[in-house]
Structure 1
């Protein structure tokens, strides 16, 4: 196996392409966005991720990675395109990108080729949607003439290059031969354990992982609402509960973001709506959390005239600039729709990475992202700049006692 074609050069496709190129394969990276292709041809990376830009330059200089708007004949094809949800009111997986990618490579398939779907998808997608498209376009038979597998990514933004190498991987094949062929390919750079299974199980594993976290976060968010009503500190409740050796409750916040956790559970609900009642309820709790946070902020501001809000954070998680599905954006939109003046600072998001003028004459400081820089803010230095010394910390990152001693009224999630 010499040439690999990777379709989709986003947060997963590009690092995967770079790993294969670094392992010595000739890699063709395919994307429909011309600005992405031009950036990579110039040796620049369009994704803000530690180490990625240097690796792009290395493999481009070595001639191991070429980019194109169309797939080419290869020994293996990796599909890593987006799978968003179609309608927030009736969420279903939009598989149009997956279908288009499969249709694009099907005429190029030859006997012995391998096709791997990495895109997070509802169970059954590989066998029921991808395989028929590949067979119809190629005239070949999956399993007999070419191999098909599903291998989901399991990485965290900010740690992608480390985790893509060292995390355990799950590979599901439409048959044993397909699974083993994919394992052989990924073993070229994966140092973590590789576990083989059938394709539908692999699809379900990825969804189960993110659904577990979503349900756990929903529990934390619901506990936060209950503790607020009962006037109990939810942070202390969770910290003390987690002392139990079999309890690990996550932290509450303004909601759930990122492309995975906020989206993937809906794929299970789509396939089993009657059975997935807990999963749906968790999604509804987390999807409603930005409005809950907004209403809490309104309560802080209710006696203030034409208030200005200084918002800290736009990203969906700390110490990255990723704003995909960020609950912070939803809270910001609700605040603006209410007519409040909103100033935003996020050190990781371009265009909002300066704090100049953010605090001046602000009436309320709202923390929506847990960047480490926010923990080090000096309340004594900020206090003279504000018109009203109010804080709503939706991430529980500030030292409440320290800020209260500086004269702030502090409310937390």
Structure 2
């Protein structure tokens, strides 16, 4: 099998695939990005990133102008292939693996002996072994008894929106192969651009690592949100209580919020819960706490609006976390939509987007406004995301308005 990788084909040019493709190109490899969306392909070939991320636009433009990165709508021959397509949830919370299956099948015409196929998409346990069955089914010429003539491995991504470009290079990585030599080859590819350590294991352990990393964070967020619910019931400021508790040398409680969003923490635990009924009770309970948090915040906002005698509400923040434009699974978005459906006139403030997402635009009673305009049009202010500009809001600006601070930003500053 090939020991040196000169070309890589990245399938899926979203939040993970695009920065991965650009980083590989910057490391000197010939990269062929693939996406089924022609607008994404056209934007990349013009040197543009189709979403906002610090330093990504510059990285993409440099990679395209150097000739090392080009985008296509179908897989192209390469030494290695990286699959970074979405794995959303079905209605019953089970993982929808149709995109992974389609991506793997799309590779079959271009796979060659000695190729390396890496799956980065978050997946339930056993997925890497299962997609090996596609090779056996569609390309028997790449099968040698019980072995494959290609290498197959799983490598979970672990980068944070807002810091993707840096973390893609600096963070440690886990690579799990169907065979030990598959993991070794995956390590060699990632070491072309990863400055952190690259740890080798088997494929199913690597799949487990990704899922438990985010389930762990979900459980800890649920604890913080449960503390908030108890504290507020008893008239206790939960942020003050948590801050004091964290002065214990072995305690590190997270900050409560309006819920959990993003494609990882709000989704990944379900992959373990649905696959292992009866064995993931704590994870299931955490999901219940965090999924119920937006409704709790809606109730607080409604109570504030009733006390103020007004239907005019300013909701600050739509993204799932501070200082990004990522709205995936955002609890703030869910809160705003619910308020609109209940007949409130909502002024939404989100400094990282230029237009309302369709699910809010269709509501009819939500208007995207500047911070100043939103304050002028509202009697109730709900802080849903701790974006940096919102830290500059003063008590004078909030004078005469009912306030619901769901993230504790203004409380902590006070």
TM-score by structure 1 length?
0.93
SS class of match (1:24): coil
Cα distance in 2 for residues equivalent to 1:190 and 1:31: 24
1:171-212 Cα offsets, whole Å, 9 max, x none, are: 000011000000000000000011100000000001111001
Structure 1 segments (4+ residues) deviating >6 Å: none
Instruction: Say which of 125, 133, 151 aligns to 1:123.
Output: 125
Q: CA deviation at 1:144?
A: 3.7
Instruction: Say which of 339, 352, 355 aligns to 1:348.
Output: 352
Given that 1:375 and 1:399 are in contact with CA atoms closer than 8 Å, whether structure 2 keeps it comes out as no
Instruction: Say which of 145, 149, 170 aligns to 1:145.
Output: 149
Please say if 1:259 is aligned against 2:257.
Answer: no
Name the counterpart of 2:387: 371
Cα distance in 1 for residues equivalent to 2:51 and 2:324: 11
Name the counterpart of 1:58: 62
1:258-279 Cα offsets, whole Å, 9 max, x none, are: 0000000000002111100110
Q: CA deviation at 1:143?
A: 4.4
Counting matched residue pairs gives 395
Cα distance in 2 for residues equivalent to 1:379 and 1:245: 34
For structure 2, the 5+ residue unaligned runs are 356-367
Name the counterpart of 1:358: 374
Alignment of 1:178-217 (within 5 A): 178-217=182-221
1:310-329 Cα offsets, whole Å, 9 max, x none, are: 11100111111111110001
Name the counterpart of 2:103: 101
Cα distance in 2 for residues equivalent to 1:80 and 1:4: 13
1:204-225 Cα offsets, whole Å, 9 max, x none, are: 0011110011000001111111
Cα distance in 2 for residues equivalent to 1:36 and 1:207: 28
Cα distance in 1 for residues equivalent to 2:382 and 2:170: 37
Instruction: Say which of 66, 69, 80 aligns to 1:76.
Output: 80
SS class of match (1:221): helix
Given that 2:347 and 2:377 are in contact with CA atoms closer than 8 Å, whether structure 1 keeps it comes out as no
Name the counterpart of 2:167: 163
SS class of match (2:8): strand
Given that 1:107 and 1:137 are in contact with CA atoms closer than 8 Å, whether structure 2 keeps it comes out as no
From the superposition, tell whether residues 353 and 175 of structure 1 become closer, same or farther in structure 2 (CA, over 3 Å).
Answer: farther
TM-score by structure 2 length?
0.93
1:327-346 Cα offsets, whole Å, 9 max, x none, are: 00110011111111100111
1:348-382 Cα offsets, whole Å, 9 max, x none, are: 12234733521114111100001111111123245
SS class of match (1:359): helix
Given that 1:207 and 1:267 are in contact with CA atoms closer than 8 Å, whether structure 2 keeps it comes out as yes
Please say if 1:225 is aligned against 2:229.
Answer: yes
Given that 2:308 and 2:402 are in contact with CA atoms closer than 8 Å, whether structure 1 keeps it comes out as no
Q: CA deviation at 1:399?
A: 4.2
1:132-186 Cα offsets, whole Å, 9 max, x none, are: 1122222123844110000011000000011000001000000110000000000
Given that 1:221 and 1:252 are in contact with CA atoms closer than 8 Å, whether structure 2 keeps it comes out as yes
Cα distance in 1 for residues equivalent to 2:158 and 2:412: 35
Cα distance in 2 for residues equivalent to 1:230 and 1:401: 22
From the superposition, tell whether residues 107 and 135 of structure 1 become closer, same or farther in structure 2 (CA, over 3 Å).
Answer: farther
Please say if 1:242 is aligned against 2:242.
Answer: no
Cα distance in 1 for residues equivalent to 2:309 and 2:237: 29
SS class of match (1:195): strand
Given that 1:335 and 1:342 are in contact with CA atoms closer than 8 Å, whether structure 2 keeps it comes out as yes
Instruction: Say which of 395, 398, 401 aligns to 2:410.
Output: 398
How well do the aligned residues superpose, as a CA RMSD in angstroms? 1.4
Q: CA deviation at 1:401?
A: 8.1
From the superposition, tell whether residues 300 and 20 of structure 1 become closer, same or farther in structure 2 (CA, over 3 Å).
Answer: same
Name the counterpart of 1:20: 24
Name the counterpart of 1:133: 134
Cα distance in 2 for residues equivalent to 1:234 and 1:356: 29
SS class of match (2:302): helix
SS class of match (2:41): helix
